[in-house]
């Protein structure tokens, strides 16, 4: 696991547990405690965690506050595979609402191959990747651009969604947990996702496996509110909560498609 990927997993483990020891992080990540200390120092410099004696605690800030540009490189290979698998589920000629996020921005670059499409976007990154693409009718949902993320949120975004209906909503997510369901680290993002869930015939979630078994601040919906999850399946060293969450998703009727595009049972 490269350093950017390890930072992402470390951050989510700390946020998922509230307080995590050096030993627990080292065991889960398969690295030394010295490496964990260096990673935590880096996350602390970014204002994402607080170092304490023997470990770290989560701060009351969005996990995504590292910013889009920083997070775009985290788990980049996994996100690329997830995006390609999700693009394969989009039908040519359909109307698609594309959420904000690093994985959905990656997906935007894949959608030109599925033209003709009408694609409405909730982020400026996705808009930039789809602009002037042949066969793509691009709609940019109005709203306030959230600093660092360039996601479109607020009353204008919510009002625009009320006027539209989509075949498919491709949603990114900050966290999914067997008890809490789908959740986000930012209240405004969560509000837009909740509204979008009601404006589409089906919802596909794209998320790398570090989101599994994690609880975020603002609930988006129950597990069964989503039809399909496209993800890279967690490894054997993943937290138990990740496997529990996958099992709960299947029990709720959510189809799990791995990053190779194959449905799992």
* Per-residue pLDDT in tens (0 to 9) along the chain, 265 residues: 557 667 877 877 786 667 889 998 888 777 899 999 999 998 888 778 889 999 998 776 444 444 544 454 555 566 788 899 999 999 999 999 999 988 899 899 899 899 999 999 999 999 999 999 999 999 999 999 987 678 999 999 999 999 999 999 999 998 899 999 999 888 999 999 999 999 999 999 999 887 888 888 799 999 999 999 999 877 666 678 889 999 999 999 999 998 765 566 5
Maximal C-alpha separation, the chain = 56
pTM, two decimals, is 0.76
CATH (one of 3.40.30.10, 3.40.190.170, 3.40.50.1360, 3.40.1180.10) for 75-258: 3.40.50.1360
Picking from 68, 117, 125, the residue whose alpha carbon sits closest to that of residue 93 is 117
CA 79 to chain centroid, in Å, comes to 9
CATH number listed for the domain at residues 3-61 = 1.10.10.10
Helix or strand holding residue 2 (H, E): none
Helix or strand holding residue 242 (H, E): helix 240-251
Picking from 63, 51, 22, the residue whose alpha carbon sits closest to that of residue 214 is 63
Listed in order, the ranges of the chain carrying CATH 1.10.10.10 are 3-61
Listed in order, the ranges of the chain carrying CATH 3.40.50.1360 are 75-258
């Amino acid at each position: 696991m490269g350093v950017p990927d390890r930072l992402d997993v470390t951050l989510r483990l700390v946020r998922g547990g509230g307080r995590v020891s050096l030993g627990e992080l080292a065991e889960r990540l398969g690295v030394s405690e010295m490496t964990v200390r260096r990673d935590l120092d880096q996350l602390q410099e970014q204002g994402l965690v607080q170092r304490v004696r023997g470990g770290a605690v989560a701060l009351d800030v969005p996990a995504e506050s590292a910013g889009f540009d920083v997070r775009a490189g985290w788990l980049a290979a996994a996100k690329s595979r997830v995006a390609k698998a999700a693009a394969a589920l989009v039908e040519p000629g359909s109307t698609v609402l594309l959420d904000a996020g690093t994985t959905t921005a990656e997906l935007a670059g894949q959608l030109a191959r599925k033209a003709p499409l009408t694609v409405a976007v909730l982020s400026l990154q996705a808009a930039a990747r789809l602009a002037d693409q042949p066969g793509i009718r691009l709609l940019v949902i109005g709203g306030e651009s959230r600093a660092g993320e360039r996601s479109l949120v607020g009353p204008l975004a919510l009002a625009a969604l009320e006027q539209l209906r989509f075949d498919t909503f491709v949603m990114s997510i900050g966290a999914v947990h067997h008890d809490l369901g789908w959740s986000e680290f930012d209240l405004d993002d969560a509000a837009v996702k909740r509204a979008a869930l009601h404006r589409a015939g089906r919802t596909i979630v794209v998320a790398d496996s570090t989101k599994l078994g994690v609880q975020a601040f603002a609930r988006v919906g129950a597990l069964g509110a989503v039809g399909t999850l496209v993800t890279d399946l967690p490894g054997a060293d993943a937290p138990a909560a990740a496997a529990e969450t996958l099992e709960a998703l299947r029990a709720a009727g959510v189809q799990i498609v791995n990053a190779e595009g194959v449905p799992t049972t």
